[in-house]
Homo-oligomer: A and B are copies of this chain.
Amino acid sequence: MKRPPTNADANPASTRSAVGRPRSAEAQEAILQAALELLGQVGYGSFSIEAVAARAGVGRPTIYRRWSSKLELAVEAVVRLAPSVKVVDSGDALADLRNLVSEILPDMTSSATGRAFIALAGDVEVRAELAHRLDERYFQPRRAVVAGLLQRAVIANQIRPDIDCDLLIDLILGAAVYRWLVTGTPVTGESARRIVDAVVDLAAPRP
Contact = CB atoms under 8 A, between A and B. Distances in A.
Contacts of A202: 202-203
Nearest to A138: B182
Number of copies: 4
A135 B183 contact: yes
A181 interface: yes
Interface residues of A, number: 44
Contacts of A64: none
Contacts of A173: 178
A124 B131 contact: no
Contact of A171 (B135, B164, B174, B206): B174
Interface of A: 41-46, 111, 115, 117-119, 121-125, 127-128, 131-132, 135, 139, 164, 167, 170-171, 173-179, 181-184, 195, 198-199, 202-203, 206-207
